[in-house]
Amino acid sequence: MMAARKLPPLPFDTEGLRGELRLREPMSRHTSWRVGGPAEFFYQPADKADVIALMRRLPDDLPVYWLGLGSNLLVRDGGIPGLVVKTVKSLGELVLLENQRLYAEAGVTCAKVARKSVAAGLAGAAFLAGVPGSFGGALAMNAGAFGGETWPLVESVECVQRGGAVLHFNRGEIGYGYRRVELPADCFLLSGVLALGAGSGDGGQAEIRALLEKRGASQPVQSANAGSVFKNPKGGYAARILEDLGLKGHQVGGACFSTKHANFIINEGTATARDIEGLIELARRKVREETGVELEHEVRIVGEAS
pLDDT tens digits for 117-166? 999 999 999 999 999 999 999 999 999 988 899 999 999 999 999 999 99
Q: Which residues of the chain have pLDDT under 70?
A: 1-8, 201
Listed residue (16, 7, 30) closest to 84, CA to CA: 30
pTM for the model stands at 0.92
Largest interatomic CA distance in the chain: 69
Domain ranges of the chain: 20-86, 94-218, 238-302
Q: Which CATH architecture has domain 238-302?
A: Alpha-Beta Complex (3.90)
- pLDDT of 204: 83
- pLDDT of 1: 36
Q: Are 68 and 138 in contact (CB under 8 A)?
A: no
- pLDDT of 201: 67
- pLDDT of 13: 93
Please write down the long-range contacts of 243-246, taking CB distance under 8 Å and 24 or more positions apart: 245/286, 245/287, 245/290, 245/291
Class of domain 94-218: alpha beta
Phi and psi torsions of 297, nearest 5°? -80, 140
Listed residue (270, 273, 264, 268) closest to 303, CA to CA: 273
Write the single-letter amino acid at 155: E
Name the residues annotated as catalytic: 179, 228, 298
Q: Is 233 exposed, middle or buried (0-12, 13-18, 19+ CB in 10 A)?
A: middle
Listed residue (134, 133, 140) closest to 154, CA to CA: 140
Bridge partners (DSSP) of residue 195 are: 101
Q: Is 149 exposed, middle or buried (0-12, 13-18, 19+ CB in 10 A)?
A: middle
Q: Which CATH architecture has domain 20-86?
A: 2-Layer Sandwich (3.30)
